[in-house]
Amino acid sequence: MSATIETIRDDFSFLDEWEDRYRYVIELGEALPPFPDSARDEAHKVRGCVSQVWLLTDRDEGENPVIRFQGDSDAHIVRGLVAIMLALFSGRRASEILATDAEEVLRSLGLDEHLTPQRANGLRSMVKRIKQDAETALQPA
């Protein structure tokens, strides 16, 4: 994915209307790479999301591995939120993922006050799953 969290933050600052921001979030979701059908299963499903959300995790070897995520959703706006979380977390070391305050990022984008409670809870579930994967990656083999 080409959008970084910094690019997303900059783009959000140029969009004054929430309708425009929602359209942008949907566009971010549309730009996600195709998600493998083989990973659309219970093992990759994120619990706690009203919409269907799947997350695939890949990591390097080592004590503090780089972790890459792929994700998808069956809902357009949620797919865009998945894209934002991937921009925030994917391609970072496990320790960086654990140190990242996703809630602060959402506040900086203004998303925290514009998401329905169900979507906000689903987003928290996704962050929790990403951080659990990072914790697991830091456990000695």
**Where in the sequence numbering do the catalytic residues fall?**
49
Q: How far is CA 113 from CA 23, 108, 140, in A?
A: 17, 11, 39
Pairing of strands 53-59, 66-73: antiparallel
Question: Distance between CA 54 and CA 105 in Å, rounded?
Answer: 21
Provide the edge-to-edge strand list for the sheet that holds 66-73: 53-59, 66-73, 92-93
CB 129 within 8 A of CB 137: no
Residue identified by tokens 């949620």 is 78
